[in-house]
Amino acid sequence: MYNNLVDRFLTYVKIETQSDSNSTTVPSTQTQVEFAKILMNDLKAIGMEEVEYNDTNGFVTATLSANTDKEVPVIGYIAHMDTADFNAKGVDPQIHENYDGKEIILNKKLGVKLSPKDFPNLKNYIGQTLITTDGKTLLGSDDKSGIVEIFAAMEHLISHPEIKHGKIRVAFGPDEEIGVGADIFDVEHFNADFAYTIDGGPVGELEYECFNAANVNVLIQGKNVHPGTAKDKMVNALSLAIAFDDALPSHEVPELTEDREGFFHLMGLQGTVEGARMAYIIRDHDRELFIKRKQLMRDIAIRLNAPFEDERVKVIMKDSYYNMRDVIEKDMRPVELADKAMRNLDIEPDIKPIRGGTDGSKISFMGLPTPNIFAGGENFHGRYEFVAVESMERATDVLIEIARLAAE
């Protein structure tokens, strides 16, 4: 239906753009800078205006001018350039037409299979055209599907001037996967009334509620002496680390929670008797429960430090993002517009909280309400990632319909 959609997707996913959480540059990797240059050239080629690259924040932005004299809102469409922390070099996308609902051999040599037994969601795509990995890398549908869908929607509107629309701003940003991409997004320069991140999963997803999130480092200072003479002298940092984790609610972890249930997630533990470091993330949709989770970790540290003269357990916290519902529920226009667009296209909106975050969560708190809508991919961040061509076409349909409805 959209002539360049699949070809552009197959081209873009082969370009390695993985972000790097250890980097101090913006973007975090040079490959994203090079990809930004490609996007700029391609935006100009399809007829977009005001194509710019911001050296400060790594965002590519562009404009599609309004073709109506009506006073209508300026809409923004946003997607991210980077891919996740999984092998992203040498991506070799595989096309499976008229999927039959059976097991797909991704890589015979490695024994990698995409099976409905493991992923029942595959049954939703019988008869469709799937794009998968070759079993060695991720695919990059997160979020290059979103990028090509924005491109396809802009191309369609440019070539069909009979579809009236207001001014549309697009942005492609870096480092979403490492949680810093939107930190310095220039909302004032973007100059939209509301926006959407096209960064969701299956067809119908419409999300305006996400976690409140914080990163936590627990630093533990032990004291190592010979175990034969350790009585009343040794302080085992590893034992304190175990005690700290044991003091948290054992059932409030990612593998035992769902929907709006929050959690504590131990991401890493390194240490010896002399010292240890624990890395956690805290998540909760409810702001008050989020605050209580943070306080619980502080209280545990206080309790573990009580027997010692010196502070042995130190908790360092940094909030990452907040539940964008707190902003968007004050102006539900973008949600209502997307809901109506989907229903007009016979897509049943699946409105639910994100068990994660998007760039939109940060951008919303910068003053630009930015809910998230589906891009179509599934099984993100690994070798089992896939997307249906039909899902990307449906996402493109929604972007066009949102623009059309906003101009009515």
Which residues are annotated as catalytic? 82, 176
Burial code (b: 16+ CB inside 10 Å, e: under 16) for 62-78 equals bbbebbeeeebebbbbb
Q: List CB contacts of 241: < 8 A, sequence separation 6 or more.
A: 218, 220, 269, 271, 276, 278
Contact present, 392 and 143 (Cβ < 8 Å): no
Which of these, 195, 170, 150, lies nearest to 331 by C-alpha position? 195
Q: What's the CA gap between 369 and 406, in Å, rounded?
A: 15
Give me the sheet containing 313-321, strands edge to edge. 263-271, 275-284, 212-221, 313-321
Residue 369: phi and psi, rounded to 5, are -55, 125
How far apart, in Å, are the Cα atoms of 222 and each of 9, 70, 274, 299, 356? 52, 68, 4, 19, 34
Strand partners, 212: 284
Q: Where are the alpha helices (DSSP H) in 160-271?
A: 187-190, 237-246
Residue pair 78/371 in contact (Cβ under 8 Å)? The answer is no
